[in-house]
């Protein structure tokens, strides 16, 4: 598989965070998030964004998610997608977002 084919095999979608709360059972500080991906439904994710965002700042934010990497349990919470981000400094992650308005579930390429 070529590098381009490998990248293309990852299903990246834009979605809106509809709920966020602390995942107090996670080993490292993290949030539980519910993300509306349109026709794919509302999915869940756990991510370590507490050093950058308050839970209420996440709600309404459009984020980029990898949807086909499999599910994991993190601190007892089912994480169905991986929310993409960029580490700006050790332990501080800035979420990848979308400039403008797009329908939930829009494919990212």
Q: CA torsion, points 64, 46, 23, 75, in degrees to nearest 10?
A: 180
Residue 62 structure tokens = 């459009």
**pLDDT reported for residue 56:** 97
Write out pLDDT tens, residues 61-77. Answer: 999 999 999 999 999 99
d(CA 68, CA 10): 6
Q: Look up the CATH number of domain 3-100.
A: 2.40.50.140
Q: Is residue 30 scored above 90 in pLDDT? A: yes
């Amino acid at each position: 598989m070529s590098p381009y084919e490998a990248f293309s095999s990852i299903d990246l979608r834009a979605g809106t965070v509809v709920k966020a709360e602390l995942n107090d059972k996670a080993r490292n500080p993290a949030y539980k998030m519910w993300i509306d991906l349109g026709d794919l439904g509302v999915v869940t994710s756990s991510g370590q964004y507490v050093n950058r965002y308050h839970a209420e700042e996440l709600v309404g934010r459009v984020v980029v998610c990898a949807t086909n990497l499999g599910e994991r349990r993190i601190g007892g919470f089912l994480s169905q997608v991986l929310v993409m981000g960029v580490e700006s400094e050790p332990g501080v992650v800035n979420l990848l977002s979308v400039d403008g308005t797009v329908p939930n579930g829009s494919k990212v390429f």
